[in-house]
Structure 1
Amino acid sequence: MATVSHYVPLGAGHVNPTIGIVAELVRRGHRVSCFVPERFAEQLTGTGARIVPVPSTWEAAGLADPPQMHGRHLVRAMGYLLEETRMLVPLLARHPAPDLVLHDGVLAIWGRVLAQRWTVPSVEVWPNLVSNRHWSMNRYSKVNPLGPRFLAMMMKYALYLRGEGIRDIREFFEGGAATQRLVTVPRAFQYAGETFENFRFVGPVLGDRAAETEGWTPPEDGRPVLLASLGSAYNRRPDLYRTILSATAGRGWHVVLSIGEVDPAELGPLPADVEVHRRVPQVSVLRHATVFVTHAGMGGTMEGLAAGVPLVALPQMAEQRANADRIAELGLGRALDPATVTADQLWAAVRETAADPGIRERLNRMAGEIAAAGGASAAADEIERALPRQD
């Protein structure tokens, strides 16, 4: 069996989609070593892989969330990413070269550098919408590729990458040298999905997350359940949580509200039909939910769609706005502007999505697309195809 080195960055949205893939590779007999920021080491222990906690300059710099690779934040984020790569590459290179590198395709670019250094195949995991000449995230991030700060940062990358023997900078950032690129989104959800030839859309990988699949039971009185969460990053929005509470108060629903690191005292008095948690077993709650009010991060979006739950999206950043617009475009729920939404508007969206039979029908079709994409099993098949032949 093969040896696989697995690299993920700081960020639950980048770690969670790989957990089931790693577990499936281990189940098939491969020896997987996960080099993961210490904060997420426990989440991967149940996979059976060897867990190697690694430091992160992002944590040392006090970044509460992974850097945003979008818009006005892009150049600063690229600087953080280069610093992280410079620190991790020599540290990770001390370990034996694997047969294959498996890494996050968005942020863990040190995987690309190491695969090039070791001349081993690499498989990238993209937990988000991807771009090509037909559709690009730049529609939302509005990056100016000719801006002086952007060009100066690209020169820094070029100097570093040339020192690693990498000349094609554009191909490097696009992951073009990867043996395979896996997208943990069904092709049907990807904008212009039919035009992407060099990606394998395996759909969300939701297995092997015990903490997310047990530990919550619905109310015994049979009231409809509303799950509301702004995810694990960029979620410090007590104002928005108060709007959610105001919208749902006295409606006869049971509300499960996940608030992250926000102080519950900032929410004010809580109605009796609301339970507030810093983190909830989301997959478990979604099994019983009637509507999911979400920030439209791709992890939560896919979990909601896989469960067949209508989505009301309150996006917080560029990537989430793209997801929210796609949810609305495909008729899987509603997208609202969190900067202007009122309690009445939010409740109207919840009520309409819950009652719309067309949304239910489209959700059923999307759930079928997700199941057909293959998930962890399909991802592991592609990884095994990428492995060098054993003579």
Structure 2
Amino acid sequence: MKIMVKAYFSTNKARIFTALVLTGILSVTSGLTLIKDATAASANFSLETSSDVSKDNIKSNRLPRPVANAVLQDLAQREGISTRELKITNYNQHTWSNGCLELPQPDEACTEALVSGWRVVVSNGKQNWIYHTNNNGRLLRLASTNNPSDKLPTSVKNAVLQTASRRLQQPISQLRIVESQQQTWRNGCLELASADEFCTQALVPGWRVVVGGREKTLVYHTNQTGLVVRLNEKANQNALTPVKIPASELPPPLDRDVVFRQISSGGFAGRTYETVLLKNGQLIRVRIGDENDSERSVRRVSVQQVRKFLRSLERYKFTQYRNLSYPAPSGAADYITYTLTSQKNTVQYNDISQNNLPSNLQVVVKAWNQITASAQ
């Protein structure tokens, strides 16, 4: 979904300017932009909370919309929060070894039939929740609240980091555990058998660990102690090749009082939202094309949080991705395009491919999501 500069300036600019006068933040006016008018029916959940959800469930490797709805609604009800605060950050197809989706309750009898379904990770920017579901989302179970490496045994963590360090030719100090989850593998090959390899059929308790490096993310399967570590090659064959954003499609530069901006566009509802962070900690979000400005929100984070976020841009070298776009796969539809702009550069990506971004860029995206989630 391309962003055209000429669409930034429309008759709505005067309305936005007036609204900013009323809030006492005139300096933001030149930073507020318009990609395109978007008027469509609202979806069942926030367009900024959905991950890659197939509208017609045509592609088997994309998360079906009913599954996404079911997971988001279940978690929102459990935690007493709005689905607008939640975002599906990762998912993959999985065949569970029993009718309890490998999450039996105490003394529960589980059918031994294999169940095709999904493993879905949901985040509010502060913590993650992991769900197991069947194919249509009518059966789902909350696996855990996951904070990377909190419960990961030290022996497993060290083994994975050492293996990843050799693979990526990077020192361990430059690697991080992005995600970890306990798993019970269906065979002695940890479900990663090579050609003609014989695998014992015994269940093997272990871990699925995601490691982030400078430019790549690796997925490993391990046993319970880390003595056996295998790279999931298939999961790592999704590296993205960026393309340069044409100068004519770059958004306008930021006003001097604005330190960061996110523009999100697309999704099922086809709406465009703009969020800007000011030096003083104000976080302003508007929907472009909202004639009554009814969806405007003005929240705040501390100046210390702003400074910390700016340091993260420097630390993780946000400028190395200058004016790059990480496009969606060919044929993809209903995805959300995010355009991030600092005082020095612009980066564009989409929710379908977010987890395949360079690891440093993923850290920046996470830091930005934490800013927006913590604003009051």
With the length of structure 2 as denominator, give the TM-score of the two structures: 0.27
Higher strand share: 2
